[in-house]
Structure 1
């Protein structure tokens, strides 16, 4: 992957359209949340992509059919169904938008089926050479049922993955659950960088990410969630699925040499991609430290990096957040330190490792 400098926006092509993935296990409350969000004026000019119209119960919002695959909602949003390939559906939407057969929607929300592993959907959004130019992933929002969530996490590994890769976790049905301390601790241990929010959170705050609709950077610390990793809860009770998933924050106060960063990312992706559930970060490269690089990806597929025109906040520390499955965070830390040439108290041969990262024990 190339990390060559790129402008935050290219005047020769349309501004990328923000896209949010809404996921959660069967019965978690995605439909209820989606219905509420569609009443929010902030979601006007939004396209909602679902698997089948009949599955999400939007009948009271439907007002007219646009064509056999699209329905205009009373909230001013457009709803379309995936009858095969998500990529084909997104390409069709773009063609209709560019040809002015539908209005110039400002946002896309993809609602997944309850049994879906979100990773393949994110791969399609990140990896496709055309879609990556036209859409920008804002957030993965996962809905968890406060009543049955713990049992669901025990029984269904896909529910664990849905929570592990989330940018935000919506805890639904808390009024029916009574004490929610246990499920909150479980989710916080599973994904410490994702805030746990209520279903009535404002639509913009819930569906937004690092990139606002105006193209300006939002709160980087909120997007990364790195503050949570400073105070981990090691006492949380996790089951056999959860125990294999851990989070780590890699940092560098000094700008990172471009060659070292590219080699680290390539080595991590090629050698351990399937174990990298989620990666997101902001990095100061040594050859252009005032224009930080934003990176994020899922498993071995990384989004095309974006170079911001300036730092969105006063903190210019490079930060990479990684959600790992069956991969020792200490090993990843050693790999990062080796590429940055950092000496380690417990590794007297760190200087040699900085020149030969493949010599790191366990790699």
Structure 2
């Protein structure tokens, strides 16, 4: 009987990748409070948690609800730099414990970063490790923002700006302490400029629950279908941005989101050359890229792209278009890079003639110094 019961399991393919949610936010924003609330939801009983606390002794794990042997403390340094190897090891250890039945089965992982973390290298790690990309998938980035101190924090700390810019969901905390409606509107408007595709949820109003924060990625595990519209939120990025005064002291004036879109099918070689030149020339300025592309070789089965700085995640081919919009769309979040430069580069590879701009042949002849495409501004 046992052998018969095990036979179907033996014929199964590889297990579905486990979704990973990155929970980030600046110091004091309320990440641990939010995490405790999420872990109190019975729907997250099968969630493993990785916690990073900056410094020699980690304390945050003392305040996280117990998840049976599934909470791992990464206390050897900041997750964005010195402990990326520890992150890989911890994720691998969780898999081994799960596969060997030493740990209860878990179907989701939440990684809580230190408040000083730059999230881009963390995403890079999750997307680049050859084994982890087979067993895990990045579901989304949830960024917690302290509404009372948001403006001062964003003005003073570039890390906080990047945490907001790469978010798939933004959670505003302490809004009940912010009695000035105009101040709250200003915070919300600033965050929408930083991450126009990210819904902004009010924790005090009970909006930041598990269904609203999780399943933010390309696939909805409950339905097993692609939800590209939600993932890209292109309409939010493409919407005209409200006019606002630029303060040169604000770091977020250096970060912009925009969309590249075309009805034309793109050959795989053209796409590869465009992405390679984009990475080589402006990779440091590309905080995040998400997109769906119609390939000339197979226009009915688009591919999904996901990139962070110099790294492009292995493309995923869909069985068909998820909706009636069959355009190629690339949503980009950049820092210190004029969107017009990327648009000209994209048009050149598509063969769209432009005045005073090199064509594709000129670009590929000299890929490291494309004429007519000025370098990004120097970062401070």
TM (normalized to structure 1)? 0.87
Gaps of 5+ in 1: 1-10, 63-70
> Quick check: 1:212 aligned with 2:204?
no
Equivalent residue, structure 2, for 1:283: 293
Distance 1:342 1:216 in 2: 37
Take 2:352 and 2:41, find their aligned partners in 1: how far apart are those partners?
49
Residue aligning to 1:153: 154
* 1:361 and 2:362 aligned: no
1:176-325 equivalences in 2 (<5 Å)? 176-178=177-179, 179=181, 180-199=184-203, 200-208=207-215, 209-214=217-222, 216-239=224-247, 240-325=250-335
Give distance in 2, aligned partners of 1:342 and 1:126: 32
1:93-132 correspondence to structure 2 within 5 Å = 93-132=94-133
Q: Secondary structure at the match of 1:136?
A: strand
- CA shift, 1:342, in A, is 1.8
- The runs of at least 4 consecutive aligned structure 1 residues that moved more than 4 Å come to none
More deviation, 200-209/19-28: 200-209
Q: State the secondary structure of the residue aligned to 2:324.
A: coil
Query: Residues 258 and 286 of structure 1 are in contact (CA less than 8 Å); yes or no, is this contact kept in structure 2?
Result: yes
Q: Deviations over 1:26-76 (max 9, x none)?
A: 1111112111111223322111110256315535x33xxxxxxxx518xxx
User: Could you tell me how far apart the structure 2 residues matched to 1:151 and 1:218 are?
Assistant: 38
Map 1:36-47 to 2 at 5 A: 36-47=37-48
- Equivalent residue of 1:114, what SS? coil
Verify the 8 A CA contact 1:195 1:225 in the aligned structure 2. no
What is the rounded CA distance, in whole Å, between the counterparts of 1:292 and 1:356 in structure 2? 28
Matched, 1:328 2:338: yes
The verdict on how the C-alpha distance between 1:98 and 1:299 changes in structure 2, with shifts beyond 3 A counting, is same
User: Secondary structure at the residue paired with 1:356?
Assistant: helix
Q: How many residues get paired? A: 337
Partner residue of 2:349 out of 335, 339, 348: 339
What secondary structure is seen at the aligned counterpart in 2 of 1:100? coil
CA contact (8 A) 2:220 2:227 kept: no
Unaligned runs of 5+ in 2: 1-11, 77-85, 375-380
1:19/1:107 contact within 8 Å kept: yes
Residue 79 (structure 1) aligned with residue 71 (structure 2): yes
Root-mean-square deviation (CA, aligned residues, Å) is 2.1
Give the aligned partner of residue 137 of structure 1.
Answer: 138
CA distance in 1, matches of 2:190, 2:157: 15
- CA drift at 1:272: 1.0
Pairwise CA distance, 1:356: 2.4
Q: Which has the higher contact order (CA 8 A, sep 6+)?
A: 1
TM-score, normalising length: structure 2: 0.83
Provide the C-alpha distance between the structure 2 equivalents of 1:42 and 1:338, rounded to a whole number of angstroms: 49
Q: Is the 8 A contact 2:61 2:73 kept in 1?
A: no
Distance of 1:238 and 1:96 partners within structure 2 = 51
